[in-house]
Structure 1
Amino acid sequence: YVKLRRKTVEKEVIYVVLGVNEEGYREILDFFVGGQESAYVWQEILQHLYQRGVKEVLLGVFDGLPGLEEAFKAVYPKADVQRYVVHKVRNTLSRVRKKDQFEVAEDLKLIYRAPNKEMALQMFQQFESKWSSKYPREVQSWANELDVLLTFMDDPS
């Protein structure tokens, strides 16, 4: 959030679309201030980017806003979708007892920092075996979203 002075000073959110090219160069492609975050608004933003020349997108990375991935796929049907791992980890840790947070975080790192997808899936099986009795909802949530959390592993490092 950023404080903006209009008639009064209020906090407003700034939404940023960041692009990363094949060489790893990051560039702000677009941004907008305030408003309601919705899949419809994001689809308009993505269509605007497409019209401005952002035609070839290989991967979209999102936070799981309902409808956002569908909006992205409508504009860029050939692209893959990746869910923010950091957000998923934070959400998971917020639902885990304080005494288990460090250990759960370390076990999750073994999944998303694995050298390849096969190893990541093995690490998830260990995570599932270890934590599913204590935190069944959290483990099931990872199981449900594992494909979109590990999409980046399908591409070269």
Structure 2
Amino acid sequence: MCPIWTQTEGSEEDMKGDPFSALYDMMRTAGQEDAPTGPALMRRGTVRNVSPLTIDVAGTTQEADRFYICDRLAAGHAEKLTVSGDRVSGALDISASCPMGSHDSMAILRGTVALNAVATQDGPVLKPGDEVLLLTADDQMFYIIDKVVSCG
């Protein structure tokens, strides 16, 4: 698994002073070596269209080829989920039959429920009008970090 932050000489101080620039530097290193360098800037954008993706950034509409998007915001994103618990409520219908024909019911008194599943998003998370947090170094290429909402 890839570490999110690897401490090197001076990096702890960089992370305290400007964590977004440090995050951008890590993404630049992992992505393409010829990406622009410099301090990272945070921008807020408004989704105008989902397909193709267009986002209004500071009054300028940016097209899909200018974005890198967080995978979980993309349509069709799937994640493996493991859910378990020992307190499940609700109706449970079980139909069973005995090969001898002597009985046809079953009782479950207690147990553990475990579920392994893959959850797939039904369409894109982003919708027109949604606001997103963007990270950029040059206002030309943008990293969509996440969808954001107002607290007030």
Q: Tell me whether the two structures share a fold, i.e. TM-score over 0.5.
A: no
Q: Which structure carries more helix by proportion?
A: 1
TM class by shorter chain equals under 0.3
User: Structure 1 length as normaliser, TM-score?
Assistant: 0.21
Larger Rg: 2
Q: Which structure carries more strand by proportion?
A: 2
Higher relative contact order (CA 8 A, sep 6+): 2
